[in-house]
Structure 1
Amino acid sequence: MQQQQQTVCATYISHEATTLPTARLKVDGQIRFHVVVKPTVLQVQRGQQVELTCIVYGGNLNTSIVWTQDKPKRRYALTDRASKNDKEITASQITLRSRITLDDPSKIGQYTCTALDDAGNAHSAVLTMQKSGSYVPRPKHLSGVLRKRITNHRNDICQPNEISCSNRIQGRKCVEKYWMCDGDRDCDDGSDEEQRYCDLLPQHRYYKTSEFQCVGANDTYGNPVCVRRSLQCDGYNDCSDHSDEVGCVKPTIISISHRQIRINTRDTLIIQCTARGTPTPYINWRLNWGHICGDGSDNGRCTMEQSIDTHDPSLVTGTLTVRSINANDDGTYSCEARNSQGFIFAIPDTLITVTESDNKPSSSTGCNCHGHSSYCTPDGRCQNCQHDTVGYYCEYCNTGYRGDARLGTPHDCQLLLAVSNQSLYSD
């Protein structure tokens, strides 16, 4: 059913011009990278829908734009579902229009639009909402049951960086993916601590996924001491050696596998992103700023795997696998790394172009990918390396794997943990 709601025009306090003077936008004849929001101050009422406009000057197709809320809660902006016409790109600017339905008082506050380009430049602008007037109720001619469904509809949609709680009738409906299996019940029903979520995170030999092992602390029997993972970098010393509060830092992106990939329908897409941070970041993926595979659920076709470097627990590689790819998977894929200290997006995004074709390129195209890919760029660099391999020619094993990727078999690279376990029990 098409959602019905009352849209009230917002009152603009700021009357900035829609564009900046040309002299302010240019540096040495070039459009300088700059962000402007319209309006900068907005009078709102609870219950209305408002439109936020973010204009990025000097951007390009690889520019990432994101709205975040700073006050009263720090989080991604809970924007309404986007449409195809919300983003306009011209030679000199990018305009992004986003809408927010103020059905929750916590949505009224301060917002920031941040843009990042492929050269590493970043710029942002702030919009402040000010509450005025009284609450704008929803249409009274709707039945009570229907009004309840409409009121709860937007709150039921989890963001791409969130998981859905099992009991959505009471309490939280969505929680951060980084919070799953951290030893704390963030969902009121505790469903974020279920084994199915712990299985999505890297496994450890000597302690649980939901735990952090204190570095130098041992009990009276010489056994390692562990605390809940949620207690790492929380500002309090929970380990006796204080190791749970050492080196806390928000993530940084180390590498991303590809910038552009052209792939045929029904093939398997594999892309990777590596980040470092303390606590160990969680690598999440977005497609066109929304959910991967459309519905945001793990339906067996799309998986996000995390692997930690065995020699550096702060280094994690996220692998996104999309099987039986189709035209709906075409678009811009964003890698984001998150931990309790903050988040960051990889620059640039990965642009995936899906083509309708039953025939894969033959070896006569000149691809030398050691049997791990059939795709390469015109200059011979391999794309979409499979079998846990990376590199311009798929010649290296991925982080967390060991072997010789140049042998040309699907089993060239083996998981380090699996190799260690095999040697441990191979008497």
Structure 2
Amino acid sequence: MTDDRELTAAEIEAFQREGFFADEDEATAETYPRVFNRSAGFLYKRVVRPHEPLPPEYVTLPLTGLRGEDRMWIDLAVARWNMLWECAQFRRHFFSEEDLPEPMHEVADRGDVNVVFVPRTTSRFHEYAPLFHLLPRSTVQRQGLPLLRAGQWPYLVQTDPVDRFLPGDFEERLSRAWASTVWGHLNSGSGLNSFSGRDPIRILAHNLDFWLPAVTAAIQQILGDFPVVDADVEETPIPLQDGTFLKGVVAASPRMGGDLWCGEAEAAEVVRSTVDHADATGRLRGILEAVKANRVEDDFSGYWSYAREDFERKLHSKRSKVKVRFVELTDTIPVQGPETEVIADMVYSDFLALLDPRERQVVVLMNSGITKLAEIADLMGYKNHSPISKRLAHIREKAITHFGEQ
């Protein structure tokens, strides 16, 4: 005789928890963290592969409250859509208008856009899952986060009530955990706690939205090296009804699935790759160099560090050598004498922090090549240069006090 009774709410939740949380005994450094991919080859023999895929963006869908056939329809549509990650901006051509629920159709109807659909949650877990699944076990537990079973990219389907299972401040905890993981790649000389919450590099390290495109690019680079399901299927152009071919794409066998990373060592390599992708155009490196060259006192915490020692040594050295001069030139760029070249990088760092916004604007304008007081007054909205002259006097007094000139 079989037991046909319905499961109780407690039994359902116990089942969900078992599938959501990792077994602590199994979460070893060799197997945790882990992320895998499921191949589109389970559903498709051929996919469209663009030569230059657009970077994917994450779009959240409101799935809470959907039940029965409505939920099953959107779950299936999301799984099919996301599984076609290789098609990038061309994946909408695999679907008719009737195949997509309204929220997805609204996005697809905007044209060739490359999006990954994920459920909308308060914790934003599904958007940030790729970052979470790069964290070592010790970092996860240090921030009071739970150990979770292997993640998958892209998201396909999950019915677990993640917001109920995760801490209410999940995003904040994840931000701290990710910052501690990536910090060594941003500032190898001094620890994270050596800097205050106002330090720009520390703020950047905690900014999950900044890192999400980079980790997605790192994931797609890994997937791009996976072999195809059927090596005998040749890449071919895609014909159109008018006899021409769709430009920039080929039809090809989908790639196999598999582990993207498994264990702390492989995850650490993906973290490094994420940093590299964040700096693909030199953007990250430029930010780091600009911040380090223009440190101010408020960037540091009360802890000693090599960075703080270096800052204070340069600060005291510069204060003993500087002479403060504001010179109005006619048609030339600002010129500094030999005795002032040692403070070139101070103009935009600790001294600017002492000025109010209008005074800072005056200094920045003069340093950028606008040295006529009348022009500065006009740019700042004054009718004449008298207010600028007064502000220069205040700036000069602050400079004398700051740099220690008698």
> Structure 2 length as normaliser, TM-score?
0.26
Bigger relative contact order (CA 8 A; separation at least 6): 2
- Greater strand share, 1 or 2? 1
- Greater helix share, 1 or 2? 2
Q: Which has the larger radius of gyration?
A: 2
> Structure 1 length as normaliser, TM-score?
0.25
